[in-house]
Structure 1
Amino acid sequence: MNLTKLNIIIIGSVLMILLAACGEETTKSADKEEATENKTIEMGQINWAENIAVTNMWKVILEEKGYNVNFNLLDMGTTMAALAGDELDIALEVWLPVQDQHYYKQYKDKVNFSESVWYENAKVGLVVPTYMEDINSIEDLNANKKLFEGEITGFDPGAGTMTVTEEMIKEYGLDYELLPSSEPAMLEEIKQAVKNEEPIVAPLWSPHRIFSEVELKYLEDPKKVFGGVEKIHYVTRQGFSDDYEEVSGWFKNWKMDDDAIGTLMTSVNNAEKPIEGARKWVKENQDLVDQWIK
């Protein structure tokens, strides 16, 4: 074999090795891209203060662990339908046993309601400003219809609490109209009424940051239409725990008390962007977060 042929063979071999390496690198890149896509979680989000807080918190936690999280801003009814249709992976806020019971009855065989709860002392009811000293029970409302102009200031029409409030109006025989809007609009009306020391009655829930901003009180509910202590669950599409076994375990460990949810909501509310407030809170509460993702 002469020198020229030998050089050609060597060069050809080198080129084959380089092409094989490039192909292997392309395959690895494609595999990595596919793995990233498979780690994308579609999360439902509702425009409620505590929901914005916890969804952004989990986005920070999960993305630090290599997952992608997409938010889907929906109302409660659409959220449940999307979970049942496998269009969403998870939604973080379902109130049981009373507020969202109709969603539980409708979807209990189509989605997975968590057995574990992340907040155990939730409360729901009608509130009025504390300066309304003579209004202390739902039963006081009909006698003061003129004072409130026969209106209960509400929020999202698809919310479980709004449905329960409609049931409460019937149960107590109230000659009142429940006015739907949005949570931000309802909160603004409450703040303006308190600022001007005007009467207002609205359905609200704890935990909520509004209680740290204005002085409100729950009206007594002798007939227990709003129930007693509510617990907050999360809900997933069927098959989520199999597809995301690690993440499913983290959510089962998730627990928050009044201080934790209160400081999170404040941090998110005070930040220029919710995600920035959530990131700050996660950094300051890493010991608690580590208990969830152990």
Structure 2
Amino acid sequence: MKKISSALLALALMPTSQGLMAQDKNLVIGTNNWAENIAVANMWKILLEDEYGYDVKLSNVSKNALYAAMSQGDIDISMEIWLPITDKPFLEPYKDELQVHDAWYEGTGLGLVVPSYVDVDSIAELKERADDFEYQGSPSILGIDSGSAIAGLTDDAIEQYELPMSQVNSSGPAMMAALDGAYASQEPIVVTLWSPHWAFAEYDLKYLEDPKGVYGENETIYWFSRGDFASDDPWLTEVLNAWKMDDDSLGGLMATIEEVGDPVEGAQQWIDNHRDTIDQWLAASEAAN
């Protein structure tokens, strides 16, 4: 006899929730290149397709394009919006067309990061130590894509702290490759980074103090959707509202993906090893009904 997963068995015993499930199970999830975003988007794609019959497409676009496309109904949901500061500029033009739902992660971090062996503790200190952080011949801060929120905040930090440095924008993987190379050689490097991120489990890193508060305080991550999504799919809305992750669960998911080297295979491996956690989300969503 084929073994039935606990999630499927739970679903079979949930007539109320099943009745709330959308008839049209085509779903477009907007993603960006942040490590945790790729991780959770692939996790939910696998769960919804394999266990609940959805047809899920991941649409990887820039932040500006994501919000615009969602406001027009071309993207249904996205798993990550940082509030109240980081993603507010992206949300503001579309706040009447989009809906921010419940939080799933609390206590984020965002800012400039160096390896712990670097004898610099504050962004302000970079002004006098800029020459220590040369990259391709000039003092640099290594960042991710120029359209990201953290890139804009880093431009603000360079201006406010009057740093004689430039931000070098590239992809997240390229930035991490540069960090890995510098770390292996114990060379100075400063990068833009955020938590949750698997890098803090892999390397001994520290945030530089930000006395001017350019990068803001710790924030909360919510999922969000086009404005009418909750009425179109109340079941999935309740499930995602019940979804919660912390440093252990999210860090473990990201670390598994990084170790495996593939977001789909890594997310599947994490799902297989954490059925109890997933079933708790489903049970919490049922309780909400």
TM over 0.5: yes
SS of equivalent residue, structure 2 residue 33: coil
1:216 is aligned, of 178, 191, 205, to 205
Q: Does 1:92 align with 2:88?
A: no
SS of equivalent residue, structure 1 residue 117: strand
Report deviation, 1:99. Answer: 1.4
Contact 1:36 1:67 (C-alpha < 8 Å) held by counterparts:
no
1:144 alignment counterpart:
129
**Count of residue pairs brought into register by the alignment:** 258
1:105 alignment counterpart:
92
2:111 is aligned, of 112, 118, 125, to 125
Q: Distance in 1 between matches of 2:153 and 2:99?
A: 23
Structure 1 unpaired stretches of 5+: 1-34
Q: Distance in 2 between matches of 1:76 and 1:219?
A: 26
- Identity across the alignment (%): 40
Q: Distance in 1 between matches of 2:133 and 2:82?
A: 28
For 1:39-96, what per-residue CA distance to the aligned partner results, in whole angstroms no more than 9, with x for missing partners?
Answer: 0100112122111110111012211112111111112111111111111001111111
Report deviation, 1:272. Answer: 5.1
Superposition misfits of 4+ residues, deviation over 6 angstroms: none
Q: Distance in 2 between matches of 1:224 and 1:272?
A: 35
2:41 is aligned, of 52, 55, 61, to 55
2:244 alignment counterpart:
255
The CA RMSD over aligned residues, in Å, is 1.6
Report deviation, 1:36. Answer: 9.5
Q: Does 1:246 align with 2:235?
A: yes
Report deviation, 1:268. Answer: 1.8
Give the letter aligned to residue 279 of structure 1: Q
The 1:212–1:272 alpha-carbon spacing in structure 2 relative to 1, beyond 3 Å, is closer
Give the letter aligned to residue 195 of structure 1: A
Q: Does 1:270 align with 2:253?
A: no
Report deviation, 1:254. Answer: 0.9
Contact 1:100 1:161 (C-alpha < 8 Å) held by counterparts:
no
Report deviation, 1:220. Answer: 0.5
Q: Distance in 2 between matches of 1:292 and 1:233?
A: 15
Structure 2 unpaired stretches of 5+: 1-20, 284-289
Give the letter aligned to residue 101 of structure 1: K
1:71 alignment counterpart:
58
| Aligned positions of 1:2-13 closer than 5 A | none
Q: Distance in 1 between matches of 2:109 and 2:33?
A: 19
1:11 alignment counterpart:
none
Give the letter aligned to residue 262 of structure 1: G
The 1:36–1:256 alpha-carbon spacing in structure 2 relative to 1, beyond 3 Å, is closer
For 1:178-216, what per-residue CA distance to the aligned partner results, in whole angstroms no more than 9, with x for missing partners?
Answer: 111110000001111111111111110011111122221
Q: Distance in 2 between matches of 1:178 and 1:282?
A: 37
Taking structure 2 as the reference length, the TM-score comes to 0.85
Q: Distance in 2 between matches of 1:142 and 1:171?
A: 11
Contact 1:36 1:68 (C-alpha < 8 Å) held by counterparts:
no
SS of equivalent residue, structure 1 residue 234: strand
Contact 2:111 2:208 (C-alpha < 8 Å) held by counterparts:
yes
Taking structure 1 as the reference length, the TM-score comes to 0.84
